[in-house]
Amino acid sequence: MSLPLQGMSALVTGAGRGLGRAEALELARLGAAVVVNDYGQPGRDGSGSASAGPAEQVAAEIRAAGGTALAHTGDVSDFAQAREMVESVIAEYGRLDILVNNAGILRDRMVFSMTEDEWDSVIRVHLKGHFNTTRFAAAHWRERSKATGAPVYGRIVNTSSEAFLAGSAGQPNYAAAKGGIVGLTTSTALALARYGVTANVICPRARTRMTEDVFAGLARPADGGLDPLAPEHVAPLVGYLASPAASRINGQLLVVHGGMVAVVERPRVRAKFDSKQETFSHDELDALLTPHYAERPAGETFGAAEVLRLGREQP
């Protein structure tokens, strides 16, 4: 039986645990050869002897299931290491077909308490990390397309968050980085469409090591069933977006968790006001905007808080 990703190669960042691990396993299950990236060095087992790090453990899991995988421990936030990461996939498998950007960290704090390093580190790993790998993958696809004079196969799946969509008071750095990733994705989608490449972004909700404090108050199923916050609910959508079946999906944002996928509409203009003079005066703006916002719900912002209430409808 032919698998949808048979013969393709993929790079998944932050794939040693949690969401990235589930995504790497799913891509391999669908037939892709996977480079599993997770920053760090091999750890130590209980005896003090060297042991395989998370990336190698996931790669070994894929190989044990009959798939093809290699581990990579480079830092996505380092421009040169990201280039080497992409080049390692091309050197090993001949080309890169799928890029899944998942690597990230949290440094949560209210904006009035946040340190410069807490801001910079989150922006660097999430936003710059997404750019770094995208930059070199995009160059690879453009060069291949120009060499043949025809479109190539390329898929980018980026990772944003509901923290960007709804706003998250204690995560100004994370929300900003995730919003930037959406802008990066839509720009990339337009730039690479001519070469046959699509770029989409997901907002997953999952219980992982990074989010264990965020979801600490939500209990796991008492009957031992699949946790609604399990990363396994997210991975199938990533596999689908990476596949030929999703060729018409480009520059889109989808929320996914707990057996549910929601397609998020682009922003629309709510109201438009024109100045009666060459430019607005304070009084004219007061006469137009003040009553407009007086009729809007108190506390409403540009953030779409309703996404936090989305969930799978039980059959």
Cite the DSSP H helix spans in the chain: 18-29, 54-64, 79-93, 116-122, 129-148, 162-166, 172-192, 235-241, 282-294
Share of the chain above pLDDT 90, in %: 80
Model confidence pLDDT, tens digit, residues 149-202: 999 999 999 999 999 999 999 999 999 999 999 999 999 999 999 999 999 999
The arithmetic mean of pLDDT across residues 226-244, rounded, is 91
- Indicate the pairing of strand 260-263 with strand 253-257: antiparallel
Model confidence pLDDT, tens digit, residues 257-299: 998 999 999 999 999 999 999 999 999 999 999 999 999 998 8
Question: Any idea what the Cα angle at residue 5 is, between residues 182 and 256, rounded to 5°?
Answer: 35
Which residues are marked as active site?
A: 161, 174, 178
pTM, rounded to two decimals? 0.90
- Indicate the pairing of strand 98-100 with strand 9-12: parallel
